[in-house]
Chain A
Amino acid sequence: MDFSQFAGPFLPELLLLAGTLVIFLLDVLGLRRTEVTGGVAVGATAFALLFVVADLGFAPLAALATVPSSQADVVVGAGATPLYSFTSLGFVFQGIFLLSSLLVALASTSRPSNERGAPIFYGLLLLATLGMLLAAIASDLIFLLLAIELVSISTYLLVGYTRRDVRSLEAAMKFYIIGALSTVLSFFGASLLFGAYGTTNLYALRALAGAGSFPVLVLLGYGFLIAGLAFKATLVPFHAWAVDVYDGAPTDVTAFLSTGSKKVGIFAFFLVFLGPVLVTMPGAGSSPFSSGSVDLGPVLQLTLSVLAVVTMTVGNVLALLQKEMKRMLAYSSISQAGYMLIGIAIGSSPALAGATLQMFAHVFMKGGAFLVVAGVAGLGVGPLIDDWKGLGVRRPLLGVAFGLMLLSLAGVPLTIGFVSKFVLFSAAVQAKGYFVWLAVAGLLNSALSVFYYARVLKVMYFDRPAPATLPAGAVVGGSDPPVLPAGGLGYGRALAIAIAAVVIVAIGIYPQPVLGAIQAAAQHFVNVGA
């Protein structure tokens, strides 16, 4: 096998790596302007995205496909233990991750062109994205956890990259300590599973799910894995760090954390826990503890269902109580993780498709919302929700875009957020049994969430602004950029926000292209390992 054959499938990853190196090299050469490094980052992610979309089988781009179709969605034979494998669902997730960092990179080009740390920001952004892409093709637990580690270490640094703001530094420190703990838990769980089964390969684990004579070891192993990955995915009760970190980080980084790096945690849940769940889909299950071996499916499904309901509810209730915009969005981000977990708990291909679409939607609605918040902070609007008074009237276009994102988050029809929830809850009803109650819980939660999103809309459109919003001597925007030209937002940010708003409506009205691809990928994913 010559190099091109080996390297071809990894072209997107190599692009990102090259981008990172170029950016650090430019830093050394003294070319530190935001436009230059940002341009490199945007270019690298955009091209990587093109290749990934081509890999998904998007016909007009077929010539760009890097993975031959004979290598994608291959059914792994018994006894084979590949480190990585190309699946359509993996490509879908690579696409989601790349979209997330593309939007963030694009918006960040509007930061001041002489800002200190711009090369570090873009370099780390690409490095973290590289880790995500690797996680999306993992088929071995250790490979997966190492890829996640690459993401984690890059994001610890991203949170504190400005090195000026005390709150950012505190958030970075908190993020690092919690992250280290969760890594330890995940690796400990993996080592317990290795002790029980003698392998860390995900296909082998899926085939063995529950077999063997060490039920306690297996349950403990999966338990530690749930705890470790739940920190990454911000599931209640492992969520407490997320709000402080999201709040303290520069808002562009928050957009990336919430829509990108958190999704890696959820995707890890896909890879690790779907195996055992799928092996014992509802109907095939027996009692959870038969002699000697564990039927893991029902136990895991129940655990994940409970986690999903608790996460949704706690996230929503706490979001209702928030007075600060970023904290409200952070809690709503936690509740969104609960919706995504529903898909994993059910484990059927429709449910997977619903959860994946939810993550796709989340990039645009929540990522877009954080990008707006970052831009608005640069316009001199304070952190409180009440500081947004009258913004919808003063800046109509920005108001409409942000309003669309909130409506989509609330699941209002004709937005992408409605479609993803509709598919997800339909899948829950389709799975029958107690999953119908998951749909009811999810729907009641979305009804609840309407209130805090509607409150922001009310403040933006119906409340009159107080005359002087800025106290004397206030630091405008904290770690976010100060006032900029081009409508105050900067062209890059305006473009990123516009893209997000257009996608929210377009896919909301006609979801078939995206939804069809995701459903096909989820179907392959279920078939490959079963």
Chain B
Amino acid sequence: MFPLLSAVLATLAVGTVATFVAGNRARWVALATSVAFLAEVGFLFLSYPGWPGYNGALVPGFADSESYSWISLSWMHINYTVGVDGISLVMILLTAVLQLATVVYSWAETNRPAGYFGLVLLTCLGCFGVFIALDVLLFFLFWEAVLVPMFFLIGYWGGPQRRYAAIKFFVYTHVASIVMLVGLLALVFYSGASSFDFSAIYASARGLTVVVQAFLFLALFFGFGVKFPIVPFHTWLPDAHVEAPTGGSVLLAGLLLKLGAYGLIRWAVEVLPSGLHTVQPVVYVVAFVSIIWGSVLSLSQRDLKRLVAYSSINHMGIVLLAIALDSSLGLLAAVLLMFAHGIVSALLFMTSGSMHHTFGTRDIPTVGGITPTTPELSTFIMVGSLASLGLPALISFPAEFTALLATWNTLAYWVFVPLIILVVTAAFYLWMMQRLLFGPPKAIPTAAHDVPWYEGTGMAILVALTVLFGILPGLLVNVIMSSPIKGFPGT
């Protein structure tokens, strides 16, 4: 069978290297790579086999799987194993879309464009790798490969506090990945798995005692949780977001936060069911605290970018809650939310970047009533905000509705915690739009111009997806539900 996933990986790798050495033509190479990547992902989607009944996969339950021996010792068997199920496929689609949108949005980057676009592509390459890796070492390699380019994106192209933000980001996430690595190694060796492959670990981890599972789950929960981020390990996020260049923020919010959630689902929830069951109360508490605290912090911000950054903590808290429910509906909601938040937060970060370019500030009270001056920008801000607060027919609505339904199914009246928070946040967003978009115009520089075509195109791509999947969420749901996990029919 044609090694499809390796071919995509090779496309990205070649494109990334070519971008780094392309000098002033880097953006064209990056654009070509992104279009090719998106086309290949589209092909992956179309050729994805229907479940159940598909059994041609090398790794059970995963389509397009490939496996080659890499390191083979008497006590350690590491393979290059890749494959996709519905969850990874949705995440890969997100990666491809965000890469294209970021490249287009940043078209006018003049500060060392080769380095900038190369690092953007490298980040996406790492994320793609994380989503397809089915081997502990391979997963870890890609996981770390995301960290380094993002460090440089923040540290070189970032705002005034970029050095501090970059180092804080690096230290937090690197210490977390160390704990994650030890957790994964312990998972392999304590379970006595025959190899570092996901399928081998999946098969043997069930034999672990409940106590061991619980400890392993906690280690992995911490390791993945810092990327979420969970309160109280969230403080790297606002700094990193605010200092990062817009493209960096888009990838951070859209993709990097999803890595934590994806890792938790793939390597902890699926593999250690008793572990999750034992420490479920802890995860619930963390999720509720993240939801409430993220929303409180976001309500108190004046800076549009900071506001979006803190609301990410709130949204990822809902993702964590959905995962912790340990039900098939919850998992479906979690993946839908991850996709929706990836698109919507990316859109909002782009609008805040454009606002900064146009008005020289992101301070909401300073500028007001921008609609007459910049109608396009205010349209994008409006779509993003409405999507973020969960307006029906936009992408977040089906995701949040499923999450609330799943919470009600499992936790009954506790559903009022996220529900009330959602209502309050919605009200706040409306108030923000009222002041920023429709209020009396204040302090608008005469030189203010509307968004340039490339920024508009980047945002328009995301708006199109927001509407498309808002109206037809079934396109995603069918793919996700085909994954062979927890109550999904593929099992």
Contacts and interface: CB of A to CB of B under 8 A. Distances in A.
Interface string A411-438: 0011000000011011101101000100
A443 interface: yes
Contact of B72 (A430, A443, A516): A516
Contacts of B145: 413
Nearest to B187: A429
Contacts of A350: 73, 75-76
Contacts of A414: 141
A154 B190 CA distance: 47
A71 interface: no
B144 A511 contact: no
Contact of A429 (B69, B71, B141, B189): B189
Given A413-B144, A426-B189, A429-B189, A516 B181 contact: no
B175 A422 contact: no
Contacts of B144: 413
A350 B190 CA distance: 15
A515 B75 CA distance: 12
B185 A512 contact: no
B74 interface: yes
A112 B71 CA distance: 44
Interface in B146-201: 174-175, 178-179, 181-182, 185-186, 188-190
Given A350-B73, A432-B189, A447 B175 contact: yes
B72 A512 contact: yes
Contacts of A516: 72-73
Nearest to A519: B73
B50 to A, nearest CB: 36
Given A414-B141, A519-B73, A444 B178 contact: yes
B137 interface: yes
A523 B72 CA distance: 14
A439 interface: yes
A443 B175 CA distance: 9
Given A413-B145, A436-B186, A426 B178 contact: no
A439 B71 contact: no
B2 interface: no
A9 B186 CA distance: 43
Interface residues of A, number: 27
Contact of A447 (B174, B185, B189): B174
Contact of A443 (B182, B186, B190): B182
A440 interface: yes
A65 interface: no
Contact of A426 (B70, B174, B179, B185): B185
B189 A440 contact: no
B73 A443 contact: no
A450 B144 CA distance: 13
A512 B181 contact: no
B123 to A, nearest CB: 16
B71 A515 contact: yes
A342 to B, nearest CB: 14
B206 to A, nearest CB: 19
Interface string A491-530: 0000000000000000000111001100100010000000
A353 interface: yes
Interface residues of B, number: 24
Interface string B297-326: 000000000000000000000000000000
Contact of B189 (A353, A430, A443): A430
Interface string B189-228: 1100000000000000000000000000000000000000
Taking chain A's interface residues, is the majority helix, strand, or loop, or is none over half, making it mixed?
A: helix
Contacts of A423: 76
B178 A447 contact: yes
Contacts of B140: 413
Contacts of B76: 350, 423, 426, 430
B208 to A, nearest CB: 13
Contacts of B182: 425, 429, 436, 439-440, 443
A450 B167 CA distance: 12
A70 to B, nearest CB: 23
B71 A511 contact: yes
Nearest to B145: A413
Nearest to A511: B71
Contacts of B185: 425-426, 429-430, 439
Contacts of B141: 413-414
User: Which of B75, B144, B145 has the largest number of chain A CB atoms within 10 A?
Assistant: B75
Contacts of A413: 140-141, 144-145
A516 B141 CA distance: 21
Contact of A440 (B72, B178, B190): B178
User: Which of A413, A432, A440, A444 has the largest number of chain B CB atoms within 10 A?
Assistant: A413
A440 B190 CA distance: 16
A430 B75 contact: yes
A361 to B, nearest CB: 15
Nearest to B183: A429
Contact of B190 (A349, A353, A432, A515): A432
Contacts of A349: 75
A423 B137 CA distance: 11
B74 A523 contact: yes
Nearest to B178: A443
A353 to B, nearest CB: 7
Contacts of A450: 174
B329 to A, nearest CB: 36
A172 B291 CA distance: 65
Interface in B104-148: 137, 140-141, 144-145
A484 B76 CA distance: 47
A391 to B, nearest CB: 19
A456 B353 CA distance: 34
A113 B182 CA distance: 52
A212 to B, nearest CB: 34
A511 B140 CA distance: 17
B74 A519 contact: yes
Interface in A361-395: none
Nearest to B156: A462
Contacts of B189: 426, 429-430, 432
Contacts of B188: 426, 429
B213 to A, nearest CB: 15
Interface string A320-356: 0000000000000000000000000000011001000
B55 to A, nearest CB: 31
B364 to A, nearest CB: 36
B407 to A, nearest CB: 36
Nearest to B184: A429
A515 B73 contact: yes
A155 to B, nearest CB: 34
Contacts of B73: 350, 353, 515-516, 519
Interface in B63-94: 69-76
14 contacts: A350-B76, A353-B73, A413-B140, A413-B144, A426-B189, A432-B190, A439-B185, A443-B181, A443-B182, A447-B175, A450-B174, A512-B71, A515-B73, A516-B72
Interface of B: 69-76, 137, 140-141, 144-145, 174-175, 178-179, 181-182, 185-186, 188-190
Given A353-B73, A432-B189, A443-B182, 17 more contacts: A349-B75, A350-B75, A413-B140, A413-B141, A423-B76, A426-B185, A426-B189, A429-B182, A429-B189, A436-B186, A444-B178, A511-B71, A512-B69, A512-B71, A512-B72, A515-B71, A519-B74
3 closest residue pairs by CB, A with B: A429-B185, A430-B189, A443-B178
